[in-house]
Structures are given as structure tokens and as C-alpha cells.
């Protein structure tokens, strides 16, 4: 009887001590596809725009600060076209974020970068604010470029992803890094249809209709809007 009484008291203490923690709400995957073309190539693109979509694609949401775009390049010229990661940018029209893709080694793994959250200022409802920030090799912060005109002078605080360099002497290689490297869109002269992934660090939640993939390379200029 004494044991039963103690268990009952413990239960009452737990109930009175705090509210039951609600499980985190899991969003439905945000995925959208579109395409664009120039006279030299055609690009088919599918954006995986939130944690659920990225996790379904890769088995990991990469801390929730990365959008993944699956890209298929179809050359239209017999001699092909050279493609590089830096030819691409992802633009979020609702807040002006604009970023180039990260290499897998910048996102995670030994000696890589681990994205975390940090508050930064922004001015106005649609003002230019701090983009994702990560620690550079020289110790100073580096930020992703943002675009957009300022409206109003009010200053607020937003959560922005940051990343810090990790000491590769103390950690084992992250197995996800190998997966990201194997699936990444290769940088090469493309003469045949080629498919791969690009990894864009983006802060916050965005509707796919507000996302545009920009291509600016040897194959011309292509803007791909999602729905």
C-alpha cells in the first residue's frame, strides 16, 4: 500500500509540475517542379522546400536550413555545355533571400560547417535583412547576399541560420556527407542528359510559388519559377 501511495504522489507531482509537452507538428512535404530553357540547354528542376521534403529525399533534414533542388540538364548543342555549381542561385521573392548552393563539405562532416540559428536585425516589412551567416576560415563572419528594397524603418529580430567550423581531429566522418556528394549535380562539360542535386541554405519557411531558381552560366540565362 505504501508503494502504491508513493507512485500516486509522484504522478500528481509530475502533472502539477508542468504541462505535457506537445509533439512537434510535422509539415507535409513542400515539393514543386518546373522547367526553363535557352538555345543551348533545358533545365528541369524540382525544389524540396521544407524539412519534411528534404528528409523524404535524403533521409535527413540537414537541421532544417537547407532547400534541395533536383536538377536535370538537357544539352541542346552537340558540343555540350559546361555546368558549375556557382551558375545557380535560389531566390525567395517574399523576403529577398538569394543564395548560391553549398558544397556538401560546407554543410556537414569533418572539418565542415554545422548550421545553427542566430538572431539578426532586419529593417521594415520587406527590408533587406541578414542572410544565413557562417564562420569563415579567417574567423570573421561571412553572409549570404540578400536583395530587396527597404520599406519602413522599424527594426525587428529574425532567426537566421549560422554555421561554425568543426574540428575534424575530434570527429568521425559524417556518413550523410558521402550521400550528398554522390547525389550532387556534377560540375563538368555536359553532352548528355545529367541529373543531380544542389543544396541551398535558406532561412525560414517559404511557399514554393515564392521560389525562383536562377541559372546564369555558359548556357545562357534561365529563370525557373515554381508553383
Per-residue pLDDT of 116-146, as tens digits, reads 434 444 333 333 444 444 433 333 334 444 4
Domain ranges of the chain: 28-147+155-225
Full DSSP string of 33-83: EEEEE-SSEEEEEEEE-SHHHHHHHHS--GGG-EEEEEEEEEE-STT-EEE
Per-residue pLDDT of 70-118, as tens digits, reads 999 999 999 999 999 999 999 999 999 999 999 998 887 544 444 443 4
Task: Identify the CA nearest to 175 among candidates 221, 110, 127, 121.
Answer: 110
Residue 222 has pLDDT above 80, yes or no: yes
**Rounded distance, CA 1 to CA 176, Å?**
53
Task: Answer yes or no: pTM beyond 0.85.
Answer: no
Per-residue pLDDT of 40-64, as tens digits, reads 999 999 999 999 999 999 999 998 8
Amino acid at each position: 500500500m505504501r508503494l502504491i501511495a508513493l507512485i500516486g504522489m509522484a504522478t500528481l507531482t509530475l502533472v502539477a509540475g508542468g504541462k505535457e509537452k506537445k509533439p512537434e507538428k510535422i509539415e507535409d512535404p513542400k515539393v514543386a517542379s518546373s522547367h526553363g530553357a535557352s538555345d543551348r540547354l533545358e533545365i528541369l528542376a524540382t525544389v524540396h522546400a521544407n524539412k519534411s521534403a528534404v528528409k523524404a529525399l535524403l533521409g535527413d533534414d540537414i537541421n532544417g536550413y537547407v532547400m534541395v533542388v533536383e536538377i536535370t540538364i538537357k544539352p541542346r548543342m552537340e558540343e555540350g555545355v559546361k555546368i558549375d555549381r556557382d551558375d545557380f542561385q535560389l531566390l525567395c521573392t517574399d523576403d529577398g533571400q538569394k543564395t548560391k548552393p553549398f558544397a556538401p563539405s560546407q554543410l556537414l562532416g569533418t572539418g565542415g560547417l554545422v548550421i545553427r540559428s542566430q538572431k539578426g536585425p532586419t529593417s521594415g516589412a520587406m527590408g533587406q535583412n541578414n542572410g544565413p551567416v557562417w564562420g569563415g576560415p579567417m574567423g570573421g563572419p561571412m553572409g549570404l547576399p540578400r536583395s530587396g528594397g527597404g520599406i519602413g524603418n522599424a527594426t525587428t529580430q529574425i532567426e537566421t541560420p549560422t554555421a561554425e567550423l568543426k574540428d575534424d581531429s575530434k570527429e568521425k566522418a559524417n556518413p550523410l556527407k558521402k550521400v550528398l556528394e554522390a547525389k550532387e549535380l556534377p560540375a563538368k562539360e555536359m553532352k548528355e542528359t545529367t541529373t543531380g542535386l544542389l543544396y541551398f541554405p535558406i532561412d525560414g519557411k517559404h511557399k514554393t510559388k515564392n521560389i525562383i531558381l536562377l541559372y546564369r552560366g555558359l548556357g545562357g540565362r534561365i529563370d525557373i519559377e515554381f508553383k
